[in-house]
Structure 1
Amino acid sequence: MYLALTIGAMVAVRLCFLGLPAGRDESGYLIVGNAWGDGDSLYGPYWVDRPPLLMWIMDLAGNLTALRLIGLLSCVLMVLGVARAAYVVRGAQAARWAAAAAALFSTAHWFGVPRTNGEMLCAGFVAWGIALAAQAMVGQQRRAWLPALGAGVLAGCAGLVKQTIGDGVVFAIVLAFAVGWQQPAARRRAATVLAAGAVGVVVTLAVGLTAAAARGTSLAELFDALVTFRAEAGEVIRRSASGATTDRLLTLLATWVGSGLAFIAILTAWHVARRRDPVLLAVLAVIAFVSGTAILGGSYWGHYLFQLVPASALAVGLLADQVRPRLRTALAAFTVVALLGNLVYTIAVPPQDGATAEVVGTWLRESGEPSDTAVVAYGQPNVLGNAGMSSPYPYLWSLPVRTLDPELTTLSAVLTGPDRPTWFVDWSGVDSWGITHADRVQGDLRDHYRKVATMCGRTIWLERGENRTLATPGTCP
């Protein structure tokens, strides 16, 4: 009953966010997933540096509401998985604390929970992978290879959603080595768990990559997108870092502290140093791994912190009976008050992120025809999502543009080609984001397009050979 009430409260809060404007990643991934098929790019007509299972989920969802409900389902599974892991290791009371923490963090607006992102879609896989790994290593499981195999499969699924999410793998490896180090009699079990888990990961990745190849996305293309591109993009991010990048880092660190995640990490490290508990050590390893990937990525978006939720919630469950009651009560009260304050504030003063894209996209949809296409420079695929338009340009985000088309050769070819877009939206200037070869595109626009509107500070161009009845502009946020 406690678990049902906990999940019910989380679901009720999350449903309040269902109608918020679409995020950039939500719209972009939906566009790519729904269009995956024929085309010259990685996923048919579009390119994005994400693995194929994410695109299958987007294809399955089909629209924004369904996608957000899938994200909510993943959070429900995450709460259940974290509770199961805590129960296996420490019992019913630990499971209740872990479930409460996971559900509470899953309502925190500052972790980006209104939008469905890769971290959220991986959460269920990660939590249940950890639970199965714990069952295999420290649970009363006679056939340890079976849950270990399942943990490997789920870890592989998480990696097929977002390539940097290796939480389950880190947890299983550290736990197996820690138990084997402390208990020589368990070393055979540890070897079995690692071997079965590795088989699960490898088979899952092989199946996923083979299925993607059958749909036209080859292994070589995926390697280039998921590995080579990330290295090149990291250098682009480093060169173009600005004051906004530093501000995002400071905001990320402040959120980490203010949300209670920092206290959980510190308490976990303290108890690991004192007790050498193998499960807590594995949890701490996951927290360190996730924190490292969030920092090394260089972008510092707040939703990266959601990847910490499964491990941090499990830590809460395992530490609940290890902390003095007064300290436990104080920390729990601080976390609840902080998260509820954040929730109340965001409901009373809804964030405007995505609102401008909704206004511009809605105007395009009302002004255009069903066959119209558009390009937004640079990024903002939520404009296309709200407009219901496809794009002949394969790059829907600014980072691929800056990394793969820095001289705008591909964009220029699109704007001057026979299938050039009906509309062009100049979101923040064609010379923004450090683009240094904008003259060519500016000339293409003068030759083939005409300015027809300025919407919320964004200039909108229409192809010269087309005529449209322009809709009444909406109210800008």
Structure 2
Amino acid sequence: MPEVPWRRRVGVAPKTWVAVMAIAVAVLGWLPFLGRALGPDEGGFLMVGGAWHDGTSLYGPYWVDRPPVLIALFGLADALGGTVALRLLGALATALVVVLAGVLGRSAAPERRSAPLLTAGAAAVLVATPLFGGTVVDGEVLGLPFVVAGVTAYVASAASRSTRRGLALALTAGVCAALAVMVKQSLVDVGVVAVVLLVTSRQARRRFPAFLASAVVTVVVVAGLAALRGTSPAGLWDAVVTFRFEAGRVLAADDGNAPQRARELALAFVASGLPLLALALGWRGRGRPSVQGPWTAPDLRIAAYVLLAVEVVVVVLGGNFWLHYLIGLVPGVVLLAAAFAQRPAPVTRSTAAAYAVTGLSSVLVLAWVVVHPIGRPELAAADYLEAHAAPDDTAVVVFGGANILREADLESPYPYLWSLPARVRDPELSDLTDLVVSSRRPDWVVVAYGALGAWEMDGDALRSALARDYDEVATVERFTIYRSGHDAG
């Protein structure tokens, strides 16, 4: 009697093991970085999340142009210990994206057994690559599970023939859509898919009112909870909507490093293999979808094309061209894989090769970053402050580099931990100058090289105040460190 393969003996299909491996690969990409030093955004958001209470600014003592669910997630990570907890939260988000992408494939093409592998595989080969800012936890990473969950729920809602189940799924999709936007205001993917299906699918059109109502209710509830912690709805609107238009004008006039970052972002986009994978899925996914059974999902091809186009526009309009913007393209590629799975076209060598190239790119870049870690010049300044600052000292970093303060365990009396809010809301640096000559003056001021002469900001008054009231005590890496010389008069 021939021996039965062990996977069959335990009742697990080979494709299930492939799916498990896809999830494991995506998560394992984060493990080497659990204890690595925080990036500027990670350090800043942990400070904001940990200090969020009723205070003098939008989120207690600090102001940042991000919605409250993101701050709450970083506050959770801060309460659980900080760096490692945050990275584990990022790994969990990555795993959820891969799992939910598989569920989307199942919902979109239940008659095709390979559909979950196609969609989960598309997510797995992209979510952990450092070319998309992977290994660093940011708003895009934490928002992706809500995006993919929302798209999956809405597709399943439109496919369901049960009124009750379809309604429940549409309500779930609306909640996820709102939470995604309340993590990062540019994550409008679920709404885009819902609007496109409103035009292309009669069944989806019937679910749209429930979707819209639950999204609105969720936004109201989140805003109400934020207000209980001292963050007003008017303040949130100013931060996540009005400020972005003001920031856009500032970024449009930026003649600094943005063009160089744009070139690096374009290179990362090509090197990731994403264009090749999207082209293969789109080319092979032409034609009419397969005839399905009683569970009939809407045709997702047009929705996938529109979603990818919107995601590309969001990346370009982001202005700063940071690599982590690119991870926002993952839902569009996953939806394109779902649309491909709906068609009778087989998985050809060209399609498999596109998956293989994209996956190989992620593995090679991950291996490179493990051996050659991302440089953190801020650590030298943090080490100096940690060695010389008293426990109750305060500090300001001009500009950005909030991970310096987080690593040195110092608070800032200046509400802007990032350069862009300072450039938009304090362009003459009058607030910062008034601070350093007041009784609330920080004990330490850390100035990044060239910061006071960048972005056409007027730093003369601040330079004079530092020369008069502070002592220059050290220069480490690209940072000059000043210590308050005497009590303010």
Say yes or no: TM over 0.5.
yes
Alignment size in residue pairs: 455
Give the Cα separation in 2 of the matches to 1:4 and 1:152.
Answer: 29
CA distance in structure 2 between the aligned counterparts of 1:53 and 1:78, rounded to whole angstroms: 18
Match of 1:185 in 2: none
Q: Does 1:250 align with 2:263?
A: yes
For 1:39, give the aligned amino acid: G
Amino acid at match of 2:212: A
Match of 2:394 among 339, 360, 373: 373
Q: Deviations over 1:414-439 (max 9, x none)?
A: 10111111101111235232243211
**1:133–1:99 CA distance, 2 compared to 1 (3 A):** same
Which residue number corresponds to residue 292 of structure 2?
Answer: none
Q: Is the 8 A contact 1:89 1:134 kept in 2?
A: yes
Consecutive aligned runs of 4 or more in structure 1 exceeding 3 Å deviation: 139-142, 264-277
1:226 aligns with 2:240: yes
**Secondary structure at 1:453's aligned position in 2?**
strand
Letter in 1 for 2:214: G
TM-score (norm 1): 0.91
Let me know the Cα RMSD of the aligned residues. 1.9
Other-structure match for 1:315? 336
Find the partner of 1:103 among 124, 128, 136: 124
Post-superposition Cα deviations, 1:191-211, rounded to whole Å, max 9, x if no partner, equal: 331101001110100000111
Alignment of 1:265-280 (within 5 A): 265-267=278-280, 269-270=282-283, 274-275=287-288, 278-280=299-301
Deviation for aligned residue 1:324: 5.5
Instruction: After superposing the two structures, state which structure 1 stretch, 302-311 or 267-276, moved more.
Output: 267-276
Deviations 1:263-310 (A, max 9, x none): 233345546764487312212221111111110121111111111113
Deviates more, 1:146-155 or 1:167-176: 167-176
State the distance in 2 between where 1:46 and 1:115 align.
22
CA contact 1:128–1:151 (8 Å) conserved in 2: yes
**Counterparts of 2:478 and 2:187 in 1: how far apart (Å)?**
38
Q: Distance in 1 between matches of 2:255 and 2:213?
A: 41
| Alpha-carbon separation, structure 2, partners of 1:358 and 1:436 | 26
CA distance, structure 2, for counterparts of residue 142 and residue 55 of structure 1: 36
Q: Hey, what does 1:433 align to over in structure 2?
A: 454
Mean Cα deviation higher: 293-302 or 252-261:
252-261
Structure 1, residues 155-180: CA drift from partner, whole Å, max 9, x if none?
A: 00011111111111111221232123
| Inter-partner Cα distance in structure 2 for 1:162 and 1:156 | 10
Question: Once the 2 structures are TM-superposed, how far is the Cα of residue 112 of structure 1 from its aligned partner?
Answer: 1.0
Residue 379 (structure 2) aligned to one of 351, 358, 366: 358
Q: Please say if 1:69 is aligned against 2:88.
A: yes
Q: 2:272 touches 2:362 (CA, 8 Å); kept in 1?
A: yes
Give 2:172's aligned amino acid: G
Aligned to 1:239: 253
Q: What amino acid is aligned across from residue 438 of structure 1 in structure 2?
A: G
SS at match of 1:278: coil
User: CA 1:308–1:151 in structure 2 vs 1: closer, same or farther (change >3 Å)?
Assistant: same
1:348 CA displacement: 2.1
Distance 2:310 2:88 in 1: 28
Structure 1: gaps (5+ residues): 181-188, 467-477
Distance (whole Å) between structure 2 residues aligned to residue 317 and residue 145 of structure 1:
22
Q: What is the alpha-carbon distance in structure 2 between the residues aligned to residue 140 and residue 254 of structure 1?
A: 45
CA contact (8 A) 1:126 1:158 kept: yes
CA–CA distance in structure 1, aligned partners of residues 162 and 267 of structure 2? 42
Instruction: Work out whether residues 22 and 382 of structure 1, in 8 Å CA contact, stay in contact via their aligned partners in 2.
Output: yes
The CA distance in 1 between the partners of 2:431 and 2:34, in whole Å, is 36
Q: Which residue of 1 aligns with 2:174?
A: 152
CA distance in 2, matches of 1:421, 1:159: 35
CA distance in 2, matches of 1:20, 1:173: 41
Aligned residue in 2 for 1:179: 201
- Equivalent position of 1:88 in the other structure: 107
Render the CA deviation track for 1:388-435: whole Å, top value 9, x for unaligned: 101000111111111110111100111011111110111123523224
SS in 1 for 2:359: helix
Greater alpha carbon shift after TM alignment, 210-219 vs 318-327: 318-327
Question: Would you say the 8 A contact 2:447–2:481 is kept in 1?
Answer: yes
Residue 264 and residue 275 in structure 1: after superposition, are their counterparts in 2 closer, same or farther (change >3 A)? farther
What residue identity is the alignment partner of 2:483? Answer: L
Deviation at 1:20, TM superposition (A): 2.1
The one-letter code sitting in structure 2 at the alignment partner of 1:311 is: G
Q: How far apart, in 1, do the equivalents of 2:481 and 2:346 lie?
A: 59
Q: Distance in 2 between matches of 1:12 and 1:436?
A: 43
Extract unaligned runs of 5+ from structure 2.
Answer: 1-15, 290-297
Question: What is the CA–CA distance in structure 1 between the aligned matches of 2:243 and 2:46, rounded to whole Å?
Answer: 21
